[in-house]
Structure 1
Amino acid sequence: MPEATLLRIFDSQTSASGTPLMNKLGSPTTMKAFVIGPIGDKDADDGSPARLAYEEGIQVFEEVIAPACIAFGLEAVRADMISQTGEIPEQIFRQLRDCPVVIADLTGANPNVMYELGLRHTTGRVTIQLGEKGRLPFDVAAIRTIMFKRTEAGIVQARKDLAKSLAANLDTGGDPVTATRIWFEASLPDLKVTNLESGKAADTASDEDAPGFLELLAEMETGMQSLTQTIVAAGSIVQDISVVCTEATASVRQATARGNGAATARLAVAELTAAKLNEQAARMEVVSGEFARTVDRVEPGIQYLLTRLSEEPDQLVATPDFPVQLKNLCDAAHSSIESSDAMRKNLIEIGKASRSLKRSCDRLALSFQRFSETSRRIADWSKLLDKLAPVSTNAEPTGP
């Protein structure tokens, strides 16, 4: 590929990615993932157990947990990263109780970590366990745990496995462990439910109630939050690709300025760029796949709710924010279609520079195509939304 064309493509990619995928949604608050695990002591003597525990814990945090969380718009936080003043145990307990996601590094079976994990399990909320092979407590063997080897390949695989686990559990909330289910069951009174139409006791085992309007509404709002989060995550990937392309542009220009051996230097830049884009391709494959799966899950409920609201407009009084939230999501989907399509076309062009670039760019282009197709499905919800009473454009967007 001629040098001018390569520079033009990289430059156009940098400018094209300047439009955020979620510019219609505002800036939602970042969800946190609280990380429990060995903290150690960074000020301890080199080679000491406390220093080794710190180094191993921070490696898992920086190379496995934080990158996987970033892909889903989550901010990973350890106890030693909390800057707020106050008592440390109280802050930890509040995070364990309130954070939507807790990730536990069980390497070494630290007693404090096991205690904190037990407290977290009583909440029934998303809790993901990981740890180094051979250094896990046998007590958690029955609970699904991501096990890894502390090698370069093992760390990469752990990051991928954690990303998959986040993708599978963020929307569903995960399944509570057996101890949690038993704990909750013990607190439930033994009630006889009466069928309001017949006046007879209903058999809850065989006559399960269908979800009502409010249950459907709550599920859809949760789904929209997940979709918004995924759009934000895709926007982050776009920005990271922009950085990669900007760096590649600067490197190509430097190689050209040196003169002799410029072609070889440009090929080296292409190889390095391909490796960096491969990292973004792995992130985008997870995000685009989860985006499509979430839409598959919530779309029937969205369509039902919109149809019911159009038939019973009085229900809008009880849920005035829902149409506004959905309109924001549809607008964001429209914007993401344009950005995704432009990104896909640019990546195809960039891939013409070398074989390695083609492989990484093809992976990315396929994911952006999938993301665009899913966004079109969301954008089509606006057709049903138009059948409702007009959504006030002066309403303050609340975001899903």
Structure 2
Amino acid sequence: MIAPACERYGITAMRADGIAHAGDINEQICRHVIESDLVIADVSGGNPNVMYELGLRHVTGKPTIHIGEAGQLPFDIASIRTIRYQRARSHLASARKEIEGTLEVGLRDGFELLTPARVLRGIQTADGPSSSVESENVEDDDSPGLLDDFAAIEDGLDEMTADMEAITKTVETIGALTEQANTEVLDLTQANAPASARLAAVVRYGQSISAPAGELHTVAGAFAERMTILDSGVRAALGLIEVTPPDERGEGTEEFLEQLMALDESAQEGLAQLGSFGTSAGGMVRVSQHLRKPAKDISGAVKRMTSAIRCMGEWAGKARVLANSTAI
């Protein structure tokens, strides 16, 4: 996804394992990291070598683009915008388009300095004649502040809460329909009804849960997408709260932490219900072909929600620690 995006703008992409010259590979990589016009760094999993080389790159102030596999981003650099991808063809295509968009804006308007470069330049110019210029640049910066970030994140969390409520209602609907169908099939079995009668009941059941199962799959997908989008911002906000003394944290901090914890509790309850559905979905497939489509939708929803809620649990765990430190 990187090479095609670069090629579109006439940029030659070179991987570390594509360096053809003989010599010390570590020295060559460091030279490229420091001297190249542009670096695109895959930070998935926080590989120590990558993080070390990324630190070298950051202080140069030269253009750097972060990409990373969803769910594997290191907390240390979560505040830096990262283009996230998943190892599926459609997701890789979307990530390539994001890289292309970032390159287009950067080549047109200039790439934004990352925090380490800003800090270093601020130290270097603090006593020099250009310090006033640096101050003016800071004042003219249009980048969002902490309150802006909190507002954007809270909007996203509100949407996730609405998704969770919709998921809970849909699960309750499917549960009620399932209980009703089980009762009908049990009555038919006790009455020694022919298999065709029981099959007809199963077909009716499949038809009745088809729409809510499809809705469950759609809403769970939206929930997981919001999680992917918000993850870096939430982690960055939590990191900033952590380094801010409790008595200096804003009024919205406590509410933000409580929102993360409440959302996680709600999600855990929903996941418990979904878990039982996920188990029964496999059995539904074996009962009749008429149940395969809703069973597939339910199973897919369970998988998406499980992955998303695991990440949410990490948010809530950090939020609880920070909330306790505030109380102390």
TM-score (norm 1): 0.45
Number of corresponding residues: 195
- 1:185-200 equivalences under 5 Å are 198=133
- Residue 286, structure 1, aligned to residue 218, structure 2: yes
- 1:1-400 equivalences under 5 Å are 198=133, 209-261=142-194, 263-312=195-244, 313-319=246-252, 320-390=254-324
Mapped partners of 1:197, 1:338: distance in 2? 58
**Residue aligned with 1:259, SS:** coil
Which residue of structure 2 aligns with residue 145 of structure 1? none
Q: Which runs of 5+ in 1 are unaligned?
A: 1-195, 394-400
Task: Supply the RMSD in Å over aligned alpha carbons.
Answer: 2.7
Shift of 1:333: 2.6
Q: Deviations over 1:20-66 (max 9, x none)?
A: xxxxxxxxxxxxxxxxxxxxxxxxxxxxxxxxxxxxxxxxxxxxxxx
Identify, as 1 or 2, the structure richer in helix. Answer: 2
- Contact 2:174–2:213 (CA<8 Å) still a contact in 1? no
Shift of 1:388: 1.3
Q: Which runs of 5+ in 2 are unaligned?
A: 1-130
Shift of 1:202: 6.8
Shift of 1:281: 2.1
Mapped partners of 2:135, 2:323: distance in 1? 40
Mapped partners of 2:180, 2:209: distance in 1? 12
Mapped partners of 1:348, 1:252: distance in 2? 18
- Contact 2:220–2:305 (CA<8 Å) still a contact in 1? yes
Shift of 1:223: 1.1
Mapped partners of 1:386, 1:234: distance in 2? 25
Mapped partners of 1:201, 1:338: distance in 2? 54
1:273 to 1:305, Cα distance in 2 relative to 1, 3 A: same
**Residue aligned with 1:211, SS:** coil
Shift of 1:208: 5.1
- Contact 1:277–1:361 (CA<8 Å) still a contact in 2? no
Mapped partners of 1:317, 1:200: distance in 2? 25
Where does structure 1 differ by over 6 angstroms across 4 or more consecutive aligned residues? 199-204
Which residue of structure 1 aligns with residue 48 of structure 2? none
- Contact 1:324–1:391 (CA<8 Å) still a contact in 2? no
1:390 to 1:219, Cα distance in 2 relative to 1, 3 A: same
Shift of 1:386: 3.8
Report the identity percentage.
Answer: 21
1:233 to 1:300, Cα distance in 2 relative to 1, 3 A: same
Mapped partners of 1:336, 1:377: distance in 2? 15
Amino acid at match of 2:256: F
Which residue of structure 2 aligns with residue 131 of structure 1? none
**Residue aligned with 2:249, SS:** helix
Amino acid at match of 1:332: S
- Contact 1:323–1:391 (CA<8 Å) still a contact in 2? no
Q: Deviations over 1:155-213 (max 9, x none)?
A: xxxxxxxxxxxxxxxxxxxxxxxxxxxxxxxxxxxxxxxxx964997799xx6521101
1:257 to 1:383, Cα distance in 2 relative to 1, 3 A: closer
Shift of 1:240: 0.7
Shift of 1:382: 2.3
Mapped partners of 2:144, 2:151: distance in 1? 11
